[in-house]
Amino acid sequence: MSENKQNNGARATSAPPRGRGPGHGGPMGGMGGSGEKARDFSGTMRQLIDYLSEYRLAIVIVLIFAMASTIFAIVGPKILGEATTKLFEGVVAQLAGTGDGIDFEFIGNIILLLLVLYVISTVFRYVQGWIMAGVAMRVTYNMRKDISEKMNRLPLGYFDKTSQGEVLSRITNDVDTVSQTLNQSLSQIVTSVTTVIGILVMMLSISVSMTIATILVFPLSFVIIAVVIKQSQKYFKQQQEYLGHLNGHVEEMYGGHDVMKAYNGEARSIKAFEVYNDTLYNTAWKSQFLSGLLMPIMTFVGNLGYVVVSLIGGYLAIQGAITVGDIQAFIQYSRQFMQPIAQIANISNVLQQTAAAAERVFEFLAEEEEIPNTTTPEKAEDIQGHVTFEHVKFGYNDDEMIIHDLSAEVHPGQKIAIVGPTGAGKTTIVKLLMRFYDVTDGAIRVDGYDIRDFTRYDLRQAMGMVLQDAWLYNDTIMENIRYGRLDATDEEVIEAAKAAHVDHFVRTLPDGYQTVLDEESGNVSAGQKQLLTIARVILADPRMLILDEATSSVDTRTELLIQRAMDGLMEGRTSFVIAHRLSTIRNADSILVMRDGDVVEQGNHEDLLERGGFYAELYNSQFEVKDELTPSVA
């Protein structure tokens, strides 16, 4: 398990920020890359071949078996033609009364030989399919593993600008596309090419003139196929696009079902769905209709070829230049000749889709990773929690600083409140402290050491975080609390729950601590979710705490109980509290008042009120608003 994965699993008790990049939350969120074309087809295919290099031997064996299987199948009609010739000659001789009749022994030997050949061909095909399936699944496994590990090495900034649907699409749709191509198309390419070459050789061995006549018919089919594919391809792309729109719309409406119902948005939702669905229907039937034309067209062209073959073959047979069995074998070969050509044409489209999917996977794997941990890290076992910000500057973009020049000192065990208006940089400070981002300039020190001198794992091991957006996953309540410390016993989990005042409501549930939370944790209230995340951080027992209005989702009575529990938890620990309701941080040892990325005031509650500055303005404005909203009693 990678370092960051352990960190998040053991300490972070709140949901990570959701990306708001292009397409986030929009209808395209669920799209994959299968409807696109690769920008660099040859480069991507080289990368894919390099990725498959460790399976080189298995793939070579697959190709050999595929070729062998095809060759054994190809020679069948030629051998069967000999039996047909022998049968024809026997019948003619018997009718003329000039021979011994049909040589059933010879025909029986031919049939036995064909049976052996077809059995060998089937066995070879089975073996190559079995090996290729194993390779494809192993590549799929490794790709998903590489992507998963890569996700834990990417900086948080990547996820802030990239939608979750985009990342999920790469690990599901795109990897599946590559897997299906490896499992089906790779051996099919070899089989098709071998079949075309093999059949061409067998046809030439029977009759050069009939082969030339047959080949001259096929350019007509190529022209028709090219026209049909060109027309159908654009509809296939539109089909993929609007399938993504439709899925995205359904996902949005399902995820925000309560809000949609509350604002009477059913009619608008249905109208949007019908627009997407109608467009999808129109493009889908056109694409399917056009692609469905290929087989009838090929059959028609093939029938033209049979007519030509029959005429020329009949003439040659009369001249004694060819046997009846050879004509029969040639007709079989001409029937088989078009199928692999059509498969190759179809595989070219599949390879374009595969290259597009693989390109997206490799682009993700090539994303710039977060700065590596120091190779000589400081020990973090005895962190006391003395935190200093030394002229910290930071911007999510290099040309736009969010934190301009932040300097502050926090002594061990102090409770520090961070207040300020929306966008002042409060949450950014927490992200810097947790090393979700690294400072642009200046330094943040813990116990005198630059936080970059610790590994991210050790730094985050010393911190517990509770944010407003409570994150719980699909498992029991017991396991959700245990997420704070994975080696905790059931008794320790229950003690943490009691400390967070969550034990009572859990025991009222039918299954108690074994109650399984659903996907959106909809079977517990927002306040109860918050209590569970607080129990999680209590169980983690960190040296430093980061709290972002941790009691905002609970009622007043529960808030008082939680405040007492949190006060006990914060005792002796350095705590950073992002506060929106200023009345909750009156007892803070120090308050950092932020405005436009800078600390404009610093001190305790009473001192800041006496100064009559920005903090006093913020504090008084909350009560002014409260008074304005309170109805007067006549």
With bands split at pLDDT 50, 70 and 90, how would you rate the model's confidence at 11? very low
Say how far apart CA 153 and CA 369 lie, in whole Å. 6
CB atoms within 10 A of CB 518: 10
Highest mean pLDDT among 266-280, 400-414, 484-498: 484-498
pLDDT at 344 over 50: yes
Alpha-carbon torsion (250, 256, 257, 260), positive or negative: negative
pLDDT at 203 over 80: yes
Ramachandran bin of 624, using left for φ above 0, alpha for ψ from -120 to 50, beta for the remaining angles: alpha
Determine what percent of the chain is predicted with pLDDT higher than 90. Answer: 3
Highest mean pLDDT among 12-21, 25-34, 608-617: 608-617
What pLDDT sits at residue 311?
84
User: 271-326, pLDDT tens digit by residue?
Assistant: 888 888 888 888 888 878 877 777 777 777 777 777 888 888 888 878 878 887 88
For residue 598, which phi and psi values (nearest 5 degrees)?
A: -125, 150
Which three-class secondary structure state does DSSP give residue 576? strand
Question: Which of residues 187 and 454 earns the better pLDDT score?
Answer: 454
With bands split at pLDDT 50, 70 and 90, how would you rate the model's confidence at 421? confident
Place of tokens 């027992």: 541
Query: Which whole number is the average pLDDT over 409-435?
Result: 86
Say how far apart CA 63 and CA 85 lie, in whole Å. 34
Helix (H) or strand (E) holding 51: helix 41-51
Say how far apart CA 272 and CA 595 lie, in whole Å. 42
Structure tokens at 150: 């890569």
What pLDDT sits at residue 632?
43
Alpha-carbon torsion (323, 329, 332, 334), positive or negative: negative
Determine what percent of the chain is predicted with pLDDT higher than 70. Answer: 86
CB atoms within 10 A of CB 553: 19
User: 567-620, pLDDT tens digit by residue?
Assistant: 777 777 888 888 777 767 788 888 988 888 788 888 888 888 888 888 888 888
CB atoms within 10 A of CB 171: 18
The answer to whether residues 574 and 412 touch, using CB atoms and an 8 Å cutoff, is yes
State the number of CA atoms in the 13 A half-sphere of 362 facing the CB.
20
Could you tell me the pTM of the whole model? 0.64
Strand-pair partners of 592: 418, 602
Say how far apart CA 164 and CA 464 lie, in whole Å. 25
Which DSSP category does 516 fall into? B
Identify residue 530 by its one-letter amino acid code. Answer: Q
Q: Write the DSSP assignment of 242-284 as a string of letters.
A: HHHHHHHHHHHHHHTHHHHHHTT-HHHHHHHHHHHHHHHHHHH
Domains and CATH numbers, the chain: 32-365 (1.20.1560.10), 380-462+580-629 (3.40.50.300)
Say which range, 60-74, 153-167, 433-447, has the weakest mean pLDDT: 153-167
The answer to whether residues 222 and 216 touch, using CB atoms and an 8 Å cutoff, is no
Say how far apart CA 384 and CA 412 lie, in whole Å. 6
The answer to whether residues 578 and 426 touch, using CB atoms and an 8 Å cutoff, is yes
Alpha-carbon torsion (569, 556, 580, 617), positive or negative: negative
pLDDT at 377 over 70: yes
The answer to whether residues 2 and 149 touch, using CB atoms and an 8 Å cutoff, is yes
Say which range, 59-68, 508-517, 563-572, has the weakest mean pLDDT: 563-572
Which three-class secondary structure state does DSSP give residue 401? coil
Please provide the size of the chain in residues. 634
What pLDDT sits at residue 514?
92
CA 452 vs CA 379, 433, 463: distances in Å: 12, 10, 15
Say how far apart CA 72 and CA 114 lie, in whole Å. 9
* Residue from 192, 216, 224, 215 nearest 297 by CA: 224
Q: Write the DSSP assignment of 193-233 as a string of letters.
A: HHHHHHHHHHHHHH-HHHHHHHHHHHHHHHHHHHHHHHHHH
Which three-class secondary structure state does DSSP give residue 418? strand
pLDDT at 228 over 90: no
What pLDDT sits at residue 341?
74
What pLDDT sits at residue 16?
37
Which three-class secondary structure state does DSSP give residue 575? strand
Helix (H) or strand (E) holding 370: none
CA 448 vs CA 159, 409, 416, 454, 575: distances in Å: 31, 11, 18, 12, 17
Q: Calculate the average pLDDT of the chain.
A: 78
* Residue from 408, 415, 393, 402 nearest 445 by CA: 408
Q: Please state whether beta strands 441-446 and 449-450 pair in parallel, antiparallel, or not at all (unpaired).
A: antiparallel
Question: Which of residues 309 and 187 earns the better pLDDT score?
Answer: 309
* Residue from 517, 564, 566, 522 nearest 545 by CA: 566
pLDDT at 633 over 60: no
Query: Which whole number is the average pLDDT over 145-167?
Result: 81
What pLDDT sits at residue 37?
61
